[in-house]
Amino acid sequence: MVYISLGENGFMKFTVLENLSFKKLESTNCVYVYRDNVVLLLYVDDIVLFAKTDTLIKDVIKCLSTHFDLKVLGKTRKLLGVEFEEMGNELFIHQSEYIHKVCEKYQCFNYPVTSLPIAVGIVLSKTQCPSTEVEISEMSKFPYRNLLGCLSFIAGRTRPDICYAINILSQFQSKPGLVHWNILLKLLGYVAQTKTYKLKLSEINNLNINCYSDADFAANRDDRISVGGLILFIDNSPIIWKTFKQKCVSLSTMESEYVSLCESAKELVWIIRIFKEFEILNVIKTNVSSYLFCDNQAAIDFSKSPVENSRTKHIDVKYHFIRNLVFDKLFILKYINTKLNYADLFTKPLTKSNLSKFLKDFLC
């Protein structure tokens, strides 16, 4: 894995790469394949190369250097604010340096050190927002949005454990109250306490794509909209995770789980298509097995049946997208016990023991 920075001719990169026989994936604009054995990731003027041998990488660098003023930075140690560490056959990514800077910047607010990203039983609502001009003026002294943005940057790249807390707190960024600010400071304290956590990207032994889906029915106290969550693994390595506020009010737990399944399926389909393209281009030469896990049997049964009734006929047609995918056998939809559902991490606050149970497999 070699990191390269493009020079002055970087603006011509797309045309040049195509002329050099790099094949861009249809599923994403930033991944190219060269002669079925080199994968190139492109972000603005940064390139990361993956190949089985150093000789292949040297050949590609030589090829690119005839068109670009390259700066070869060697093995990827840091990219887009994320640090990389190799240990044997495992790759670890983290943001301890960035977290340290954030903690230093906001240490003047005396954030408390905590062992949980958000405590069990915490209920946040708009009733806790400032309601008078004086209260709004007082709250404007606190850099709520800035700190939330810093922590959101961390959550989306290396820290799935704070994703739920970030999503909930972001719903109050337009007019945060003192309660919201204090919870945000506690979250900073948790991140400071765990700044050495590293996300483990294990060597892939089996090309299984496993996506876990969950929902917390009517979780929002203001509008009763459910919270959805998902996490997607390639073998044992987490690739995508998300907490999201659903876009409709569900009338039952089954419905909220069904909506989350649809959102999870969208992410799963995208990754499946990328791997299908890798197969076509001979980058990988093995079949990929794909699974979508849910802990609600009723939602699973509804996803597999075209039958409607008085309790389900109102569900928006767009959410039936999941049915087509199941019928086409693009992946296997399976039940999983709630205690084993990793997506539980993204829909509600967990106790320390439950949080540790999920994190031990990929965050250490």
* Amino acid at site 356: S
The answer, yes or no, to whether residue 285 has pLDDT greater than 80, is: no
Answer yes or no: are the C-beta atoms of 157 and 95 closer than 8 Å.
Answer: yes
Confidence of residue 282 (pLDDT cuts 50, 70, 90): confident
d(CA 93, CA 279): 27
pLDDT in the model for residue 3: 86
The answer, yes or no, to whether residue 216 has pLDDT greater than 70, is: yes
pLDDT in the model for residue 232: 99
CA geometry: angle at 137 spanning 132 and 140, to 5°? 125
d(CA 291, CA 327): 14
* Amino acid at site 250: S
pLDDT in the model for residue 268: 98
5 vs 148, higher pLDDT: 148
Q: What is the pTM of this model?
A: 0.95
CB atoms within 10 A of CB 270: 13
Confidence of residue 318 (pLDDT cuts 50, 70, 90): very high
The phi-psi region of residue 46 (left if phi > 0; otherwise alpha if psi is between -120 and 50; otherwise beta) is beta
The answer, yes or no, to whether residue 110 has pLDDT greater than 60, is: yes
The answer, yes or no, to whether residue 95 has pLDDT greater than 90, is: yes
Instruction: Give residue-wise pLDDT tens across range 247-266.
Output: 999 999 999 999 999 999 99
Secondary-structure class of domain 205-348 per CATH: alpha beta
Distance in angstroms between the alpha carbons of the first and the last residue of the chain: 22
pLDDT in the model for residue 310: 86
Residue 182's Cα: distance from chain center in Å? 25
Number of helices (H) and strands (E) in the chain: give both, helices first: 11, 15
Answer yes or no: are the C-beta atoms of 9 and 15 closer than 8 Å.
Answer: no
Which residues are within 8 A (CB) of 68 and not within 5 positions of it... i.e. 6 or more apart?
A: 6, 7, 9, 10, 13, 16
d(CA 314, CA 308): 9
Instruction: Give residue-wise pLDDT tens across range 115-126.
Output: 999 999 999 999
The answer, yes or no, to whether residue 328 has pLDDT greater than 80, is: yes
* Amino acid at site 213: S
| Average pLDDT value for residue range 136-165 | 98
Answer yes or no: are the C-beta atoms of 60 and 40 closer than 8 Å.
Answer: yes
Q: Angle between the 163-170 and 144-155 helix axes, to the nearest 10 degrees?
A: 150
Question: How high is the mean pLDDT of the chain?
Answer: 94
| Average pLDDT value for residue range 220-235 | 97
The answer, yes or no, to whether residue 8 has pLDDT greater than 70, is: no
d(CA 12, CA 19): 11
